[in-house]
Amino acid sequence: MEKERHVLVVFPHPDDEAFGVSGTIATHIKNGTPVTYACLTLGEMGRNMGNPPFTNRENLPKIRKKELQAAADLLGIQDLRMMGLRDKTVEFEDDDKMTDMISFMIQELNPSLIITFYPGYSVHPDHEATGAAVIRAVEKMPAESRPKLHCVAFSNNCVEELGEADIINNIAPVADIKISVIKAHRSQTEQMFADITEEDTKTNPRIMAWINNERFWTYKFK
């Protein structure tokens, strides 16, 4: 994994960072690279309330905010930004407002790498709108000044249409951190891990491959 000047991660929901990029984030931080995580919403419209339920719709935003902060602390992120948009409405935000929000962060932070979702291949409308805003902001920059843009894709047709991921980060040395981060988002992930033992994460080939390998597509501007 290349040493970066600064990494900016932009996702719409708490826990978006956990599954596909938390090992990459942890590795950058261990390498001494500052990481800023801009989380656009608090995931207040999420359907999961824990298993068994331990919260309700009214209190879910408070719970997810605490879970997000706990996950950031586990990763060592010192610059966590909660941007205050509403869950499941990111697609309806004004395009210029969204683009400007990302542009201002890029101007402030001067990242050498930005991580976000690949629009068209990230399934959820909030994911799509977030990735599109990041791409618009970077596209406005002179080509020679643009940071690298590594995108997460997981739609059923992503490999068919994009080809195989050109970046696969093996994050096995920080897999324990990644698992802790996933579990920190308890309201959303507790049921998922109900049948997975700690031994499974170290011996089950399918689970190990899912945890240890984080895939990215480098966005190529036309």
pLDDT for position 47: 74
Using alpha carbons only, how large is the chain's radius of gyration in Å? 17
For residue 56, the model assigns a pLDDT of 81
- CB-based contacts of 174: which residues, under 8 Å, 6+ apart? 23, 26, 27, 30
Residue 195 counted as domain residue: yes
Per the structure, the complete domain to which residue 66 belongs is given by 7-218
Short-list 164, 165, 204, 183, CA closest to 19: 183
User: Domain for residue 166, yes or no?
Assistant: yes
d(CA 65, CA 69): 6
191: in domain? yes
The whole-number pLDDT of residue 195 equals: 73
- The pLDDT value recorded for residue 85 is 98
Q: Tell me the backbone φ, ψ of residue 159, rounded to 5 degrees.
A: -70, -40
Query: Does residue 155 lie within any of the structural domains?
Result: yes
Is residue 17 a part of any domain in this protein? Answer: yes
Instruction: Check: CB of residue 218 under 8 Å from CB of residue 150.
Output: yes
Residue 3's pLDDT is: 95
Binned average pLDDT, 10 residues per bin, the chain of 222 residues: 97 96 98 98 83 80 96 98 97 98 98 98 97 98 97 97 98 96 92 77 88 97 88
Query: 């843009």: which residue's tokens?
Result: 149
Residue 172 lies in a domain: yes
Q: What are the C-alpha distances in Å from 105 to residues 3, 37, 47, 89, 110?
A: 20, 11, 30, 21, 8
Please report, for the domain that includes residue 146, its CATH number: 3.40.50.10320
Three-state secondary structure call for residue 177: helix
Does residue 1 lie within any of the structural domains?
no
pLDDT at 193: 75
Q: What is the distance between the alpha carbons of residues 212 and 161, in angstroms, rounded to a whole number?
A: 24
CA distance 27 to 17: 13
- Dist CA 126 CA 105 (whole Å): 19
Number of domains making up the chain: 1
* pTM metric for this prediction: 0.95
Q: Kindly list the distances between the CA atom of residue 218 and the CA atoms of 6, 11, 66, 116, 151, in Å, as whole numbers in the listed order.
A: 17, 16, 32, 11, 6
